[in-house]
Amino acid sequence: MKLAFSTLGVPGLPIPDVVRLAAEHGYHGVELRAHEEEPVHPGIVLTERADVAAEFKAAGIQILGIAGYARVAAPGEDEPVLAEIRGLLELARDLGAPFIRVFPGGGTKQTAEEADATAARRLGTAVEYAGDLGVRILLETHDSHRTGAAATRVLGQVGHRRLGALWDVMHTWLGGEQPSETYAALSPYLGYVQVKDIASAEDTTPLPLGAGVLPLTELVDILSRNGWDGWLCWEYEKRWYEAAAPLPGLLGPGRTHLARLLNESA
């Protein structure tokens, strides 16, 4: 498996510094958070996109995915959501990233069936554009669809190779799923896996990998036993927890921990 980290852990860090951290600590790729407060987002122009792509290519680091914030199951009109997804897909194409991330975002003002239908309708439209651009849309296990079983209700309705799943291990665990259950649900759709660690279900402040309660050993073991050879991406949510320890000093030990888990499961 290949290892990456998300820029959510180093909010606002200039791209040359992101690339340097990845190279120094032996990560194969980086997931770029696409938000206006970050250096990379759909509003940057083509020359800026070319510069970012060149920076990563020169260092031999893959831009794994563009982590957007489109909420595909949210109530409201379709077109603003589809326009947001199109912007993310075009950014991913220009940067050479194989994936974009979208959220469910179903909320509490509609039934699960209504949220599923909304998400499936929008994604069914968006995947046609994704196919033209050579990028895959990944629905993250998050908020209204935090388990693999919930995400699969949407993915199964669309049934397109340009649509897959982004497995966030914290949300499936908080949703009561064991890694074996999540893998069984998501394996036909799996794009990549976000790993992280927290103290408890009540305290989700990010911790160094291996210092918390999330079932990372079991997760890696299941993926390895099933021959899955994709990406593990460390999403350290420093942006939302200012008191959390800075990520740069944790990247080396984090990579060592993941490598150890991979070796033990081999």
The pLDDT tens digits for 188-217 are: 999 999 999 999 999 999 999 999 999 999
Our count of domains for the chain comes to: 1
Tokens of 223: 């993926």
Helical axes 248-265 vs 15-24, angle rounded to 10°: 40
Token pair 């999540």 in the structure block, residue:
182
Expressed as residue numbers, the domain containing 70 is 2-265
Residue 37: CATH number of its domain: 3.20.20.150
Considering the entire predicted model, what is its pTM? 0.97
Is the per-residue pLDDT at 265 higher than 90? Answer: no
Tokens of 99: 């994936």
The pLDDT tens digits for 44-57 are: 999 999 999 999 99
**Closest C-alpha to 235, from 199, 178, 197, 265:** 197
Token pair 């949220």 in the structure block, residue:
115
The pLDDT tens digits for 150-170 are: 999 999 999 999 999 999 999
